[in-house]
Chain A
Amino acid sequence: MLRFIYRGVLRAHPSWFRRRFADEMLSIFDQTQGPLEAARLLGDGVISLLRQWTLRPEFLREPAAPATPNGTPLFHTFESSKPRTEALLYGGLLSLLVLNGACWTMGYAWNHPSFVWIQQPVIRAPESWRSKPPGQGAATVASDESLYTDEGRVLLVFKSHNPAPKTKSDASVDQALPQSAGALSEAARGSVPGDADVDLQAFVGNYVVNSGGAQAVRVSLEDGHLHLEIAGEFRSSFVPVSQSRLVAVGINDCAIEFVKNADGTVAQVDIFRGAQHLTAVRR
């Protein structure tokens, strides 16, 4: 029994001391005769345990390999070495704290966007739609809605399979488009009027922006796609999203809308580029 306790006391010594001397100390204990002598060694072991942990901090870690007399360091392998128990405990505790802190930070940031800005899509319908009574305009449009995303932005495109005279609700949709038209992706093109569904040839021609000096605008049809070019400033291809409105491919917040006369001929084009709005009259 005393031997078992003595072994426990030896195992509680600092690892460096234990590895080096524990076997020898146990060997001495095994040679003792009588319980009194064994108890004396047990007391000596307990005092040694306290002494090693409290008064010998320099021996808590294995000392560096000594150098030879000529200054060349001696090396040894670490095959039998392993991390200290307290180091493993501290490491595990630290890992838990860091992981917990990271999870809490992510959760807090998601619920408090001002803490860390996270882009979250916000979809708002125009007020005019909400005020419409059911069965009129908005309801008809909403039943035929499509959702498209591109570059983290959201665009709702509403269209009708039955061409009808432009109503107030259609106008509201068209007004909403310039703010988000640029988000339309190539994937969206199959769900909106295709190039073949719209008479793009009718838009081809030369226009001029009269405000701030005469600026030439050229609309052309190349390989079946409509192109608009503001002389020396801007050029892009456009895809139709309605009979009169087209959005730029690959450019955010850019759309054009053609305005026709009563006889069906195109009179002008409105160009929306972000907050900028230009009107070009056909020559």
Chain B
Amino acid sequence: MKQDTNSFLPLSPATLHILLSLAGEELHGYGIMQEVQRQSDGQYKLGPGTLYDNLQKLIERRLVEELGHRPGDDDSRRRYYRLSSLGRGVLAAEISRLDGVVREGKLRLQTRPRRA
């Protein structure tokens, strides 16, 4: 049964960054934290507690899939995660929504009347 991606919107900043970081490749928790930091130019630092709290909800909602441990990794405690097709659809819908927000924002800012 196909779920309506719009029912997940809008996403919280943490959820958006996690989904965005997983959109490129499969990552472990520490990798997600580093990727989020890189995306935000160091402005948004995700703690492990916040990360795994969100991952727990995303896995429960089937937006993210847990892949388990990967043999040959530096740290055997790491588990990898990837974006599910539903998660990718939700991310696309959120980006589209944000795109509309940005477009509308730019439009409003350009047409703002100047005071004399």
Contact = CB atoms under 8 A, between A and B. Distances in A.
B44 interface: no
A35 to B, nearest CB: 16
Nearest to A69: B1
Contact of B48 (A20, A25, A51): A25
A17 to B, nearest CB: 7
A45 B49 contact: yes
Given A17-B56, A63-B60, A24 B78 contact: yes
Contact of B30 (A17, A21, A27, A47): A27
Contacts of B50: 44, 47-48
Interface string A18-33: 0011011111111100
B48 A28 contact: yes
A225 to B, nearest CB: 85
A24 B73 CA distance: 13
Interface in A210-254: none
Contact of B49 (A20, A26, A27, A48): A48
Contacts of B78: 24, 27
B114 interface: no
Interface residues of A, number: 25
Contacts, number: 63
B52 A21 contact: yes
Interface in B34-64: 45, 47-50, 52-53, 55-56, 60
Interface in A21-60: 21, 23-31, 40-41, 43-45, 47-49, 51-52, 56, 59
Interface residues of B, number: 18
Contacts of A26: 77
B30 A48 contact: no
Contacts of A21: 29, 52, 55-56
B28 interface: yes
B53 A41 contact: no
A48 B56 contact: no
A52 B57 CA distance: 12
Interface of A: 17, 20-21, 23-31, 40-41, 43-45, 47-49, 51-52, 56, 59, 63
17 contacts: A17-B52, A17-B56, A21-B56, A24-B29, A24-B48, A25-B29, A25-B48, A28-B29, A31-B30, A40-B47, A41-B47, A47-B49, A47-B50, A48-B47, A48-B50, A48-B53, A59-B56
Interface of B: 28-30, 33, 45, 47-50, 52-53, 55-56, 60, 75, 77-79
